[in-house]
């Protein structure tokens, strides 16, 4: 997260790689949230946490997709330069 919020990256690919790592972590957490028993428990005992996890995860996925589309549309290659 420090790199994502720091504002300095050698390339878009490095930034996207870090986003992929965070999205993968969210997916692991999301698997637990799909368990009906756990989902019921967390909704009952900490609804704010449940909503926060869902909204942050969706935000990360949306941001990742936005950046991937920008990369594709701008024709930026792995080195950060135009193709």
The mean per-residue pLDDT over the stretch 11-31 comes to 81
Q: Does a structural domain hold residue 37?
A: yes
Question: How many domains is the chain built from?
Answer: 1
Residues in the chain: 83
Asked, for residue 81, whether it belongs to a domain, the answer is no
Please indicate, yes or no, if residue 34 is contained in any of the structural domains.
Answer: yes
Name 76's bridge partners. 82
* 18 located within any domain: yes
Kindly report the pTM of this predicted structure: 0.60
56 lies in some domain: yes
DSSP at 78: T
Return the pLDDT at 48.
94
Residue 68 lies in a domain: yes
Say if CB 57 and CB 30 are below 8 A apart. Answer: yes
**So what's the pLDDT on residue 83?**
46
Give residue-wise pLDDT tens across range 38-83: 888 988 999 998 898 888 888 888 888 888 888 888 887 655 554 4
61 within a domain of the structure (yes/no): yes
Range of the domain at 43: 7-73
pLDDT band at 1 (very low <50, low <70, confident <90, very high): low
Q: Answer whether residue 80 is part of any domain.
A: no
């Amino acid at each position: 997260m420090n790199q994502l919020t720091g504002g300095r990256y050698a390339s878009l690919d490095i930034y996207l790689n870090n986003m992929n790592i965070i999205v993968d972590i969210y997916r692991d957490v999301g698997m637990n949230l799909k368990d009906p028993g756990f989902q019921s428990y967390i909704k009952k005992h900490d609804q704010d946490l449940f909503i926060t996890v869902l909204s942050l995860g969706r935000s990360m996925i949306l941001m990742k997709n936005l950046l991937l589309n920008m990369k594709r549309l701008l024709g930026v290659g792995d080195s950060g330069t135009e193709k």
